[in-house]
Chain A
Amino acid sequence: EPEVTQTPSHQVTQMGQEVILRCVPISNHLYFYWYRQILGQKVEFLVSFYNNEISEKSEIFDDQFSVERPDGSNFTLKIRSTKLEDSAMYFCASSVRTMNTEAFFGQGTRLTVV
């Protein structure tokens, strides 16, 4: 069964460093998303991406965040200068269409900023 895969599963980084979280969405999906879950809290939307551009972003997704689909298969989330409060589980998701199909989630990347 096709699945969304994320690497790495766990990333530890120093505050102020740049990190890139990687995702390989399901191959025939057209919409891609990043969500964040701070430990013990709800899952929050960060950004959606379609046709090589951001279609929607939340207030969390400020200038330190960027997304890219560099090679037609990978979908990356870059955090330019990490802060302690960026420590969270980051989920990538993809869907065939926006509304009437479910989003399939990857297993998540646990980011720890020290």
Chain B
Amino acid sequence: AQTVTQSQPEMSVQEAETVTLSCTYDTSESDYYLFWYKQPPSRQMILVIRQEAYKQQNATENRFSVNFQKAAKSFSLKISDSQLGDAAMYFCAYRSAGKLVFGKGTKLTVNP
């Protein structure tokens, strides 16, 4: 069964600084997708960024980028120029043929 592990329950960053959230996953499949979702206090799940496993190039979305290491099964999220609005729970998720499998999440605090 696929599993997703986020080893950092909490992280903090100063406003305007850069922070990296870690995620590792376990799968025997070769074709899959990885996602980072943001969950603010409102608890809505908002897609931040996605990565197709067959693509070698790391995905980038404005201030958000990933470091995808397929052999190591690692998928970290880098947030540059952190803003107060980035404060939230961040969930890493894996998807192969339907359902999403989520990690336990990392709570990100942004300090002014």
Enumerate chain A interface residues (CB-CB to B < 8 A): 31, 33, 35, 37, 41-45, 48, 55-56, 58, 89, 91, 93, 98-100, 102-108, 110
How many contacts A-B (CB < 8 Å)? 59
User: B91 is contacted by which of A42, A48, A93, A99 (Cβ under 8 Å)?
Assistant: A42
- In contact, B42 and A99 (Cβ under 8 angstroms): no
- In contact, B43 and A108 (Cβ under 8 angstroms): yes
Point out the residues of chain B lying under 8 angstroms from A110, CB to CB. 43
In the assembled complex, B45 has its CB within 8 A of some CB on chain A: yes
Count, chain B residues at interface, CB 8 A: 26
- In contact, A48 and B98 (Cβ under 8 angstroms): yes
Q: A43-B93, A91-B45 are in contact. List 4 more A-B contacts (CB 8 A).
A: A99-B98, A103-B100, A108-B43, A108-B44
- Docked Cα-Cα span, A107 to B42, in Å, equals 8
